[in-house]
Amino acid sequence: MTNPLVSWIQDHSVLILAGLAVVEGLICLGLLRNARHAHHEMKAAQAAALESARAAALAAPGAIDPEAVLALLRQGHAPTLDNVYAMMARREREGADSSDEQGATSSRSSSPSPATAIPTRGRPEEQTSLTTSQVEERLRRYER
């Protein structure tokens, strides 16, 4: 006395295995497609990072805030000069807003120090440059 389900599976085992092979093949194709897409996205991200590095190298020393570039990369935006300067301006506004709030509660000055000031895009005399020790200090902060 065999179960009809068991006998049906035994009779159609080759078709069942062929169907499973087709399903596995479709899953593999989907995974391969996703891997290729991720590979292309990685190449685009590397190209954007290289473009950002070149732009930073060509800019005046200290003109680009590395924290702004890192924030853009974390948010998934391209680190182009326009995006970096927009992020720096936004951070500067947020910093000014928070310092205004702190300035009302404390007697501390709300103007940023030259080492933490975000330079502007305007004339060269408005841009600040970092000293070697300031650059090393920022690198140590970023490595933590």
Interacting residues of 142 by C-beta distance below 8 A, sequence separation 6+: 66, 70
Q: How confident is the model at residue 1 (pLDDT cuts 50, 70, 90)?
A: low
Question: Using one digit for the tens of pLDDT, what is the confidence trace for 98-117?
Answer: 777 766 665 444 444 444 44
**Tokens 């200090």, located at residue:** 137
**Tokens 């190449």, located at residue:** 43
Q: How confident is the model at residue 90 (pLDDT cuts 50, 70, 90)?
A: confident
Can you tell me the distance from the alpha carbon of 90 to that of 106, in angstroms, rounded to the nearest whole number? 24
Number of domains present in the structure of the chain: 2
Residues in the chain: 144
Are residues 74 and 101 both part of a single domain? yes
Mean predicted confidence (pLDDT) in 80-94:
84
Residue 120 has pLDDT above 50, yes or no: no
Instruction: Decide: 79 and 48 in contact? Cβ < 8 Å.
Output: yes
For residues 31 and 138, which has the higher predicted lDDT (pLDDT)?
A: 31
Are residues 130 and 64 both part of a single domain? yes
Are residues 74 and 135 both part of a single domain? yes
Are residues 88 and 142 both part of a single domain? yes
pLDDT score of 21: 97
Are residues 51 and 64 both part of a single domain? no
Determine the structural domain holding residue 82 and report its residue range.
Answer: 60-107+115-144
Can you tell me the distance from the alpha carbon of 76 to that of 35, in angstroms, rounded to the nearest whole number? 19
Are residues 123 and 99 both part of a single domain? yes
pTM of the model: 0.38
Are residues 54 and 68 both part of a single domain? no
Question: Using one digit for the tens of pLDDT, what is the confidence trace for 15-73?
Answer: 999 999 999 999 999 999 999 999 999 998 888 877 777 676 666 566 777 777 778 88
pLDDT score of 62: 62
